[in-house]
């Protein structure tokens, strides 16, 4: 009973006893997290809604996440402090265990703190599913960090911060107090039981979505904690549509969908309510070779046509006047795998991971299905190791032959297709992500020559990497220094010009159509959860046997290849969601714009947005800058259309209806 009478004394001197380090580490983490939040507040001020109540709420919410994360870091140490025998406190065993655990925690605290700044700079958000992916693909990510940042300096700073923290703990007497206080377990339990209870309660009740209380992305992200967000993303990398998103009855959803999908030159092959197979009617087919170039992070605002005055893309700008040029086209997502999904599967971006990265994604009805029916030999040509983001397995599963940079990873070898390695003697420059664009385009020429010799039409999906951090490329290529985005964009354009010039020398050029489009924009950061202007990408169809044309109608990335098929006058059956824009009725244009958890449909000047809390919002879209203003009473028709598109796409993949054999 005497120990319970000492409760006031026990709780009045927390930094002078066995739990001194525990409180010191928790305090350090909360201070660092609060400081980071202040820095991000100032950093993103231009995109912030200065609503004082919301900002205060974000800081209070963030404090809750900080406490939860800090307590999680210390969970094992809390149990250790309770159970470690009193007679061994202060021994070498106690010191070694404590120093090791504290060192690990300090490294985690300081590393996550440092890592948040470049991540925020690139994406404008806390750690999310992209950070989870980066943890998986260690070779590319570590190499990229090493090439983009002074890694030895970062390591030295981390070690210095850890050593500095230990020096401070020693000078303040915290270490000494930790090892000299030999209070019994029953007294230590007075601390530990409340600590563990609070920790477990917070872990159970705190959810990342609690920070998403406003329409302003910056406010929401300020209210989050980077480490907590990382593990929340890790748990929710796959999102089940039925569980998290608004729904219609399946038959109602398909009825709405079938009205929207049908083009002017199509009819349905079946009257079944769930069957979306359409017969597309063409005339006087032509079957040229097709080279689809997906340019990494090629935002629309890099082009002169969209207001850029830095002359970064003179060659692409010149092609826009000789091509079918799409001026109002939008990427479905913010990652390369989303661009690949849109361009090949032509479906809305289902929540969670891209289908490219999911299991059971082989033999899906895609553009490859149609190309195969037309007798094409299809290649996927990538300058890095196609193991990254599951690219090789996905493209092989659709029947593509693979050309990539084999780095010896056995998981890179797809089953049931050919894989061709880019040999060392054909590589003049490469970085963490792959060979430079010039080397990549040489591979495209090489396999185009091979396809021409086979006397059958070929299709190439060429994925570039040079316009990606660390923004490095061969010496002497352009007049800008390496290491920044503008230089990488200019080099990308320079390499594209060399590629087309070399292709023009080939016999097969006159019978080859080039589709040149971005996978996504260079940045997705901004004021709103989905920033429409950060999805605007350029696309051209070059070398078609028709007059150049500008298409100013709203087009989704998923519509690009069906539109190409339309220009080639192809007749084919399809279950793709993508449409030929030239066969789409006026007023039916739409674009799908999403991130991994928020799904959007742009139609006219209305943007309908759904999130994983079954919330639907609608916004008016400014014609000038694509700014959003919320509509208080959402249009029910457009809401139902958005739900129908995304619900059926998710259901079709989950149930296997997307498979060619279904």
377: β partners? 458
The answer as to whether 540 is a domain residue is yes
How far is the C-alpha of 373 from the C-alpha of 36, rounded, in Å?
Answer: 55
| Nearest residue to 360 (alpha-carbon basis) of 153, 19, 658, 6 | 658
Q: Are strands 512-518 and 536-542 parallel, antiparallel or unpaired?
A: antiparallel
Please write the tens of the pLDDT for every residue from 570-584.
999 999 999 999 999
Helix and strand element counts for the chain (H, E): 23, 20
pLDDT score at 661:
60
- Given a contact cutoff of 8 angstroms between Cβ atoms, the answer to whether 519 and 539 are in contact is no
| Nearest residue to 581 (alpha-carbon basis) of 534, 549, 544 | 549
Q: For the beta carbon of residue 3, count every other beta carbon within 10 angstroms.
A: 13
The answer as to whether 661 is a domain residue is no
Question: What residues have CB less than 8 Å from 270, skipping those under 6 apart?
Answer: 277
- Given a contact cutoff of 8 angstroms between Cβ atoms, the answer to whether 349 and 333 are in contact is yes
How far is the C-alpha of 297 from the C-alpha of 516, rounded, in Å?
Answer: 13
How far is the C-alpha of 397 from the C-alpha of 344, rounded, in Å?
Answer: 12
How far is the C-alpha of 256 from the C-alpha of 262, rounded, in Å?
Answer: 11
How many structural domains is the chain composed of? 2
Q: Output helix, strand, coil percentages for the chain, rounded to the nearest 5.
A: 50, 15, 35
How far is the C-alpha of 622 from the C-alpha of 632, rounded, in Å?
Answer: 16
Last residue of a domain, one of 235, 261, 294: 235
The answer as to whether 556 is a domain residue is yes
How far is the C-alpha of 397 from the C-alpha of 395, rounded, in Å?
Answer: 5
Asked if residue 328 and residue 189 are part of one domain, the reply reads no
Residue 661, both tokens: 């054999």
The answer as to whether 161 is a domain residue is yes
Asked if residue 218 and residue 285 are part of one domain, the reply reads no
pLDDT score at 404:
95
Asked if residue 377 and residue 299 are part of one domain, the reply reads yes
- Given a contact cutoff of 8 angstroms between Cβ atoms, the answer to whether 235 and 129 are in contact is no
For 280, half-sphere exposure in the C-beta direction (CA atoms, 13 angstrom radius) is 29
Q: Which SS3 state, helix, strand or coil, does residue 551 take?
A: strand
How far is the C-alpha of 623 from the C-alpha of 628, rounded, in Å?
Answer: 10
Asked if residue 273 and residue 225 are part of one domain, the reply reads no
Domain of 302, in residue numbers: 244-655
Asked if residue 225 and residue 295 are part of one domain, the reply reads no
Question: What residues have CB less than 8 Å from 445, skipping those under 6 apart?
Answer: 499, 502, 503, 506
Last residue of a domain, one of 235, 268, 303: 235
Asked if residue 289 and residue 208 are part of one domain, the reply reads no
pLDDT score at 294:
98
Give the burial class of 288: count Cβ atoms within 10 A of its Cβ; 0-12 exposed, 13-18 middle, 19 or more buried. Answer: middle
SS (H, E, C) 441-491: HHHHHHHHHHHHHCCCCEEEEEECCCCCCCCCCCCCCCCCCCCCHHHHHHH
Report pTM. 0.83
291: β partners? 460, 514
Asked if residue 320 and residue 361 are part of one domain, the reply reads yes
Determine if the peptide bond prior to 470 is cis (ω within 30°): yes
How far is the C-alpha of 591 from the C-alpha of 341, rounded, in Å?
Answer: 15
Last residue of a domain, one of 211, 235, 259: 235
- Given a contact cutoff of 8 angstroms between Cβ atoms, the answer to whether 48 and 219 are in contact is yes
- Given a contact cutoff of 8 angstroms between Cβ atoms, the answer to whether 335 and 130 are in contact is yes
Q: Which SS3 state, helix, strand or coil, does residue 516 take?
A: strand
Q: What is the DSSP string of 244-307?
A: HS----HHHHHHHHHHHH--TTEEES---TT---EEE--SS----EEEEEEETT--GGGSGGGT
Asked if residue 69 and residue 7 are part of one domain, the reply reads yes
The answer as to whether 22 is a domain residue is yes
Asked if residue 301 and residue 190 are part of one domain, the reply reads no
Residue count (the chain): 662
- Which CATH number do you get for residue 381? 3.40.720.10
The answer as to whether 142 is a domain residue is yes
Asked if residue 348 and residue 474 are part of one domain, the reply reads yes
pLDDT score at 1:
43
Distances (CA, A) of 86 to 82, 177, 185, 189, 493: 9, 14, 7, 13, 69
Residue 484, both tokens: 């920044």
How far is the C-alpha of 217 from the C-alpha of 525, rounded, in Å?
Answer: 9
Mean pLDDT by groups of 10 residues along the chain of 662 residues: 46 66 95 96 88 93 96 94 92 95 95 90 80 66 74 89 94 90 89 92 91 88 92 73 91 97 95 95 95 97 96 97 98 96 97 90 96 97 92 94 84 73 95 95 98 96 95 94 95 98 98 98 89 97 96 98 98 97 95 93 96 92 92 94 97 92 54
The answer as to whether 660 is a domain residue is no
How far is the C-alpha of 393 from the C-alpha of 524, rounded, in Å?
Answer: 27
How far is the C-alpha of 325 from the C-alpha of 541, rounded, in Å?
Answer: 7
Asked if residue 489 and residue 636 are part of one domain, the reply reads yes
CA 645 to chain centroid = 21
Asked if residue 424 and residue 407 are part of one domain, the reply reads yes
The answer as to whether 88 is a domain residue is yes
Q: Where are the beta strands (DSSP E) in 109-232?
A: none
């Amino acid at each position: 009973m005497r120990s319970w009478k000492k409760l006031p004394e026990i709780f009045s001197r927390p930094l002078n006893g066995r739990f001194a380090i525990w409180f010191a580490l928790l305090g350090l983490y909360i201070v660092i997290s609060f400081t980071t939040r202040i820095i991000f507040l100032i950093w993103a001020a231009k995109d912030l809604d200065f609503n004082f109540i919301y900002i205060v709420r974000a800081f209070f919410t963030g404090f809750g996440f900080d406490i939860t994360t800090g307590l999680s870091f210390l969970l094992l140490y809390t149990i250790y402090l309770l159970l470690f025998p009193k007679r061994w406190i202060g021994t070498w065993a106690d010191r070694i265990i404590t120093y090791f655990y504290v060192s690990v925690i300090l490294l985690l605290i300081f590393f996550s703190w440092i890592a948040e700044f470049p991540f925020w700079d690139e994406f404008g958000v806390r750690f999310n599913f992209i950070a989870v992916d980066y943890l998986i693909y260690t070779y590319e990510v570590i190499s990229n960090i090493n090439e983009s940042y002074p890694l030895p300096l970062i390591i030295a700073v981390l070690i210095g911060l850890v050593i500095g923290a230990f020096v401070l703990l020693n000078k303040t007497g915290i270490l000494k107090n930790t090892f000299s206080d030999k209070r019994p377990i029953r007294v230590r339990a007075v601390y530990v039981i409340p600590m563990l209870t609070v920790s477990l309660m917070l872990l159970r009740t705190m959810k990342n979505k609690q920070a998403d209380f406003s329409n302003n992305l910056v406010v929401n992200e300020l209210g989050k904690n980077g480490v907590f967000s990382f593990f929340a993303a890790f748990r929710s990398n796959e999102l089940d549509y039925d569980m998290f998103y608004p729904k219609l009855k399946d038959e109602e959803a398909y009825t709405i969908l079938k009205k929207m999908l049908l083009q002017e030159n199509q009819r349905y092959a079946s009257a079944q309510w769930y069957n979306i197979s359409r017969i597309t009617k063409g005339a006087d087919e032509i079957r040229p070779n097709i080279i689809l170039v997906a340019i990494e992070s090629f935002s629309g605002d890099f082009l002169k046509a969209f207001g850029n005055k830095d002359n970064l893309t003179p060659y692409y700008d010149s092609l826009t006047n000789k091509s079918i040029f799409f001026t109002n086209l939008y990427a479905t997502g913010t990652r390369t795998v989303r661009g690949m999904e849109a361009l090949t599967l032509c479906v809305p971006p289902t929540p969670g991971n891209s289908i490219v990265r999911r299991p059971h994604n082989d033999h899906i009805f895609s553009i490859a299905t149609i190309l195969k029916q037309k007798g094409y030999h299809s290649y996927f040509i990538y300058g890095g190791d196609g193991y990254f983001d599951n690219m090789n397995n996905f493209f092989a599963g659709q029947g593509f032959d693979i050309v990539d940079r084999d780095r010896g990873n056995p998981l890179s070898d797809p089953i049931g297709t050919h894989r061709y390695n880019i040999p060392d003697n054909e590589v003049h420059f490469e970085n963490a992500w792959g060979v430079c664009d010039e080397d990549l385009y040489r591979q495209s020429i090489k396999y185009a020559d091979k396809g021409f010799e086979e006397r059958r039409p070929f299709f190439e999906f060429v994925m570039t990497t040079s316009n990606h951090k660390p923004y490095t490329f061969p010496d002497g290529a352009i007049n800008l220094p390496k290491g920044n985005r503008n230089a990488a964009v200019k080099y990308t354009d320079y390499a594209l010009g060399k590629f087309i010039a070399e292709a023009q020398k080939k016999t097969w050029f006159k019978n080859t159509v080039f589709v040149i489009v971005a996978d996504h924009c260079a940045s997705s950061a901004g004021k709103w959860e989905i920033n429409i202007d950060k999805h605007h990408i350029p696309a051209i169809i070059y070398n078609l046997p028709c007059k150049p044309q500008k298409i100013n109608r709203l087009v989704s990335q998923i519509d690009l290849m069906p539109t190409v098929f339309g220009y080639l006058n192809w007749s084919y059956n399809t279950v793709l969601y993508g449409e030929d824009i030239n066969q789409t009725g006026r007023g039916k244009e739409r674009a799908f714009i999403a991130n991994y958890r928020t799904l959007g449909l742009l139609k006219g000047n209305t943007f309908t947005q759904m999130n994983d809390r079954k919330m639907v919002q609608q916004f008016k879209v400014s014609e000038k800058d694509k700014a959003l203003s919320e509509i208080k009473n959402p249009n029910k028709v457009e809401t139902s259309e958005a739900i129908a598109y995304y619900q059926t796409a998710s259901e079709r993949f989950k149930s296997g209806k997307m498979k060619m054999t279904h």
